[in-house]
């Protein structure tokens, strides 16, 4: 079975051979240029190089040597792709990093919100079973690992992990029932 990849040495068309030659001739310099612009991000650099070559493939007649300077054009295209990507990222609103209600307790909040949050949390913890409340106190509130909490509670580490899982699930349900987000 003979498989031909676009741009390979045995490519059937002159355009495909020209694309491979273009990459071999200008690829390393273009890669170094884009890598510097992107501050060393190799994955993004490879994406930009690929998009540059695709645009070159779509816009230029690579088989014909019309005396046009391809290298400066490729560098300009790569630069424009980097600029467009940067503008697109800055135009989007900042993404929220998944801040949860419990994590907000430690965030900068005014005193009234902090007191109200602690009252709601204490009330919700009171609704949990004693085993669930105990494991949350031994892990989260005492800042212990599951192994340290297991030693403190006198139970296996796997039991601590499963109790923490179910305790957090129960706590989330209780908080939702009480209108906390």
In this prediction, residue 33 carries a pLDDT of 93
Query: DSSP of 55-88, one letter per residue?
Result: HHHHHS-TTS--S--HHHHHHHHHHHHHHHHHHH
Residue ranges of the chain that CATH labels 1.10.1740: 14-91
Output the tens digit of pLDDT for each of the chain's 181 residues.
Answer: 444 445 555 656 777 777 788 888 888 999 999 999 988 889 999 999 999 988 887 776 554 455 557 888 889 999 999 998 888 877 766 555 544 545 554 555 456 666 777 778 888 888 889 999 999 889 888 888 889 989 999 999 999 999 989 988 988 888 888 776 5
Residue ranges of the chain that CATH labels 1.10.10.10: 101-177
Distance, CA of 162 to CA of 120 (rounded, Å): 24
Q: Do residues 21 and 70 make contact, with C-beta atoms less than 8 angstroms apart?
A: no
Distance, CA of 46 to CA of 38 (rounded, Å): 11
Query: DSSP of 19-44, one letter per residue?
Result: HHHHHHHHHHHHHHHHHHHTTT-HHH
Distance, CA of 53 to CA of 22 (rounded, Å): 9
CATH of 101-177 given 1.10.10.10, 3.30.70.20, 1.20.120.1200, 3.40.50.300 = 1.10.10.10
In CATH, the architecture of 14-91 is Orthogonal Bundle (1.10)
By the 10 Å C-beta count (0-12 exposed, 13-18 middle, 19+ buried), 101 is classed as middle
């Amino acid at each position: 079975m003979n498989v031909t990849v676009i741009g390979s040495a045995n490519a059937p068309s002159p355009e495909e051979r020209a694309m491979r030659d273009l990459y071999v001739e200008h690829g390393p310099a273009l890669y170094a240029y884009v890598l510097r612009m992107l501050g060393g991000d190799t994955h993004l650099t490879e994406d930009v190089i690929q998009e540059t070559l695709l645009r070159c493939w779509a816009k230029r007649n690579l088989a014909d040597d019309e005396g046009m300077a391809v290298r400066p054009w490729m560098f300009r295209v790569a630069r424009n792709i980097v600029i467009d990507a940067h503008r697109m990222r800055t135009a989007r609103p900042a993404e929220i990093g998944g801040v949860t209600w419990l994590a907000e307790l430690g965030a900068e909040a005014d005193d009234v919100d902090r007191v109200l949050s602690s009252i709601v949390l204490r009330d919700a913890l009171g609704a949990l079973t004693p085993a669930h409340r105990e494991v949350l106190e031994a892990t989260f509130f005492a800042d212990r690992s599951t192994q340290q909490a297991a030693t403190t509670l006198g139970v296996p580490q796997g039991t601590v992990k499963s109790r923490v899982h179910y305790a957090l699930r129960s706590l989330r349900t209780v908080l939702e029932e009480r209108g906390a987000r």
